[in-house]
Structure 1
Amino acid sequence: MDGVTLRRDGHVTEIVLDRPEALNALSTAMARRLAEVCAEVAADAGVRSVVLSAAGEKAFCVGADLKERNAMTDEELMAQRPVFRAAFGGVLNLPQPVVAAVHGYALGGGCEFALSADLIVADETAVFGLPEVSVGLVPGSGGTQLALRRLGAGKAADLVLTGRRLGVEEALDFGLADRKVPAGAARDEALAIAGVIAQNSPVAVRAAKRALRQGDGVGLQAGLDLEENAWRTAAFSPDRREGIAAFNEKRKPDWPS
């Protein structure tokens, strides 16, 4: 529906960018639906991990639908802006860990979707880039800030200011991808990782993600305070008691949360 499909397998949910005929370019309707889906997933306590994948063979996502934008007035472009911000913010702010499964082109907003994830799995066909400056724009869905935090100032500048494309090997070297897999295997690998994450304590995983996200860029002591808060959240939850009991009884935990 409107270019986004939701799949559920146990505690793992897959959000699929599903507009392959347009290389999963993000239209206004698709962005609106993605924000709705992310809100639904975020509120579902039964979802422990998320995979962000894409339909078709050629592209993960090539960014905003420039054919749609070509006919827009300035007023219409500004009206689209909060819809896009809600879509990208929906992915970025999911409380569950997100694993992006990238194949083919991940350009502009597609690259920003990947950067919004916690882990990026890329297959051999993956091509990353933030080419906005080449069409008179600035990455505006988290690209400058997420690249800065993930890659560091120099590599972020290289990516953003040149607008060039990175194949999977250079993306790995840059830190723009975390794992490389054979062509066609990104989704399966991402689902496998998400499955491992989903076996862990939901309380602890969400608290750890908050500490990682909120601690990025803060001073050491502030980061340690965030870690302390995350530790307390997990340590005084029923999950901690179940986890320790299961360890001592040599069984898999049955998480109460």
Structure 2
Amino acid sequence: MEMIKQEFHGENNEILVVTINRPHAMNAMNTQLLQEMLTFFREQAYNTSLRCVVLTGAGNKAFSAGGDLKERNGMSDEVWRKQHQLIEDKVRAIKDFPVPVIAAVEGYAFGGGFELALVTDILIASETAKFALTEAVRGILPGGGGMQNLPRAIGTRRAKELIFSGRQIDAKLAYEWGAVNRVVPQGKALEASLELAEQIVNSAPISVKMAKTCIDRGTDVDFHTGYSLDIAAYNVVVPTEDRLEGVAAFNEKRKPVWKNR
């Protein structure tokens, strides 16, 4: 059984919904699923027609409960390390993915599931969503980027509280603290994410890619270095056909037709 389902949306298949498909196991991530996800993000990074990815979990019970601890029970150190290399490669593949990735979260996002949602660009959560980094209470550590992405989202003091204790928070508090972009009614996370993806598709593709790069890289350096990156990207966009089209469409009071060049 495929553990990652793919479904294209949009007039030109420019939006791709990726579903973690292990609802019987609360979408926990085992080795096969991790390999499929890594393969997906590596292959789709070359899809020049793709404009946005929406990542979600099958069913409404869980986005993902994290790593599959049943599979890991009794796992040797060597096999554990090999599996974790898949996780590390997956995190980097999503973080560096060329187009925006939106997480649509229903139900539980625990451990690696929360880390997976945090590594995306935008997080839309159902009002029933629950979040926690529970690794420390299992004798391990968040290894999927959570110790970097959570403090960046909610601040170091709040992140330390959640990571040290494994405390669970609901969607409302996650939104108030800055981990979540938007909270929507139960069952509506995917629908809201697709609506946002369609709005993103209305923007010029090169502009969105450049903006993602500048924000991701620029916020980790000093202002002047980050601003230099902004201006370098700006100067890439200026001579593009899409920049000319965007200005022309505004003046002609019509929707722009982007060529991604």
After superposition, what is the alpha-carbon deviation per residue over 1:5-38, rounded to whole angstroms, capped at 9, x for unaligned?
A: 1111121111111111111100001000001111
Query: How far apart are 1:236 and its partner, in Å?
Result: 1.9
1:202 aligns with 2:205: yes
- Is the deviation greater in 225-234 or in 107-116? 225-234
Aligned residue for 2:116, secondary structure, equals helix
2:60 maps to which residue? 57
Alignment of 1:112-151 (within 5 A): 112-151=115-154
| Partner Cα distance (1:49, 1:57) in 2 | 22
Query: How far apart are 1:200 and its partner, in Å?
Result: 0.8
1:161 maps to which residue? 164
Letter in 2 for 1:103: E
| Partner Cα distance (1:62, 1:91) in 2 | 19
1:239 maps to which residue? 242
Instruction: Please identify runs of 4+ aligned residues in structure 1 that moved more than 4 A.
Output: none
1:175 maps to which residue? 178
* Aligned sequence identity (%): 38
Structure 1: tracts of 5 or more residues without a match:
none
After superposition, what is the alpha-carbon deviation per residue over 1:158-195, rounded to whole angstroms, capped at 9, x for unaligned?
A: 22111111111111111111101000000000010011
- State TM-score, norm by structure 2: 0.96
Structure 2: tracts of 5 or more residues without a match:
none
Query: How far apart are 1:153 and its partner, in Å?
Result: 1.2
Q: Give 1:104's match in structure 2, choosing from 92, 101, 107.
A: 107
1:191 maps to which residue? 194
1:7 maps to which residue? 7
Root mean square deviation of aligned Cα = 1.1
Partners of 1:28 and 1:84 within 8 A in 2: no
Letter in 2 for 1:118: D
1:17 maps to which residue? 20
Aligned residue for 1:45, secondary structure, equals coil
Query: How far apart are 1:2 and its partner, in Å?
Result: 3.3
1:85 maps to which residue? 88
Aligned residue for 2:123, secondary structure, equals strand
Letter in 1 for 2:241: P
1:28 aligns with 2:28: no
Aligned residues: 257
